[in-house]
Amino acid sequence: MRCWLAGRGRGSGCTATAAQRRRRLAGCRHQTTTPSMPWAEPGLRRKRSAAAPRRLVPRGFSMAAVFADLNVPGAPERKSLQSLLEAAAHLGYSTVAINHVIDFKEKKQEIVKPISPSELFPSLPIVQGKSKPIKIVTRLTLVVSDPSHCNVLRSTSTNIRLYDIIAVFPETEKLFHVACTNLDVDLICVNVTEKLPFYFRRSSVNMAIDRGVYFELLYTPAIKDSTMRRYTISNALSLMQICKRKNIIISSAAERPLELRGPYDVANLGLLFGLSESDAKAAISTNCRAVLLHGETRKTAFGVVYTKKTHRASEEEGVLPVRKKAKTEV
């Protein structure tokens, strides 16, 4: 091997021994490690600055995503509701729906006018990571156990139109079919606290999807009890097999701030329900926005009148009407 170091040319004819080659290679390694990069030395690692902690975001999520929880029960006490809103804003939810439930099994149930958020709270909490306050919308949920209860939705009540979201909780298979095919609602709630008394039909579910109606799953019962957790996962998986993970939202129905979970935790829980990563993200973000848009169209439009101009058969065939024909004969 010829020497290429110490200014010696190719034609010098100098050869190096094995010991000299080892010394030269050791010198090259020593020159690559400079005092300005102590972490490059063997055995040393570069330490991350404590002032810039790493924030872990699941794959497929964006830091600018807008998350929503469309089921926060309207508490009678304003302080408890205020604490729920503060906890939701701290977790990163930008939109929260205050839910007013009406169960027709109980007596003297009336649909009252929703209270505007400005009357309830003079100042709203700021969403964490954003400079905007949390947005509050109103929601009405009707628990129907008899076909006559559906007449309330078919009536032209002014109080119903004032709610941003209208949901229905059917307790029988027949009412579930009616809600999917006929009722003008935005959400259909799925029972997750007990075993379903019926099976989901693909025709009914597909009809609801074509109409833009979404299905709601709750995760709070899965936190409270192990039995409810089993029913929640089982009912959710049976629904996913029919709807193919379409038109699904996940809400909390939390009564206390400790029952709320962050958006990323809810998305990870959606994986147990049979959702993919993208569908789990949509269940707490884009699908919730689609529900709000569906509610706006429901409030502003009720139907379309289609008219078509046609010609009379008598004029097309060249036959005069009976009255004109009688006058001409006279």
Along the chain (330 residues), what's the average pLDDT of each consecutive run of 10 residues? 44 58 60 45 46 44 72 85 93 94 80 83 87 92 86 74 92 92 92 87 93 94 89 92 93 92 93 92 95 88 61 55 52
Q: Are 259 and 252 in contact (CB under 8 A)?
A: yes
Residue 258: inside a domain: yes
17 domain-assigned: no
Q: Using DSSP, state whether 126 is helix, strand or coil.
A: strand
Note the pLDDT of residue 242: 92
- How high is the pLDDT of residue 1? 45
Predicted pLDDT of residue 121 = 83
The answer to whether position 309 is within a domain reads: no
pLDDT, position 294: 93
59 within some domain: no
Enumerate the β-bridge partners of residue 137.
Answer: 97
Q: Give the pLDDT score at 93.
A: 96
The verdict on residue 202 lying in a domain is yes
- pLDDT for 43 equals 47
Coil, helix or strand at residue 33: coil
Is there a domain that residue 285 lies in? yes
User: In angstroms, what CA-CA distances link 208 with 20, 198, 211, 244?
Assistant: 82, 17, 5, 13
Residue 316 in any domain: the answer is no
- What pLDDT score was predicted for residue 32? 45
- Token pair listed for 182: 């006929």
pTM above threshold 0.85: no
* 3-state SS class at 15: strand
Domain tally, the chain: 1
At how many degrees (to 10) do helices 202-210 and 226-243 cross? 70
Strands 187-189 and 67-73 come out as unpaired
* Rounded to 5°, angle at Cα 166 from 165 and 170: 145
pLDDT at 2: 46
| pLDDT on residue 42 | 47
CATH (domain of 170): 3.20.20.140
In a domain, 19, yes or no: no
> In DSSP terms, which residues pair with 102 in a beta bridge?
142
Domain that holds residue 233: 67-300
Could you give the 3-state DSSP secondary structure of residue 122?
coil
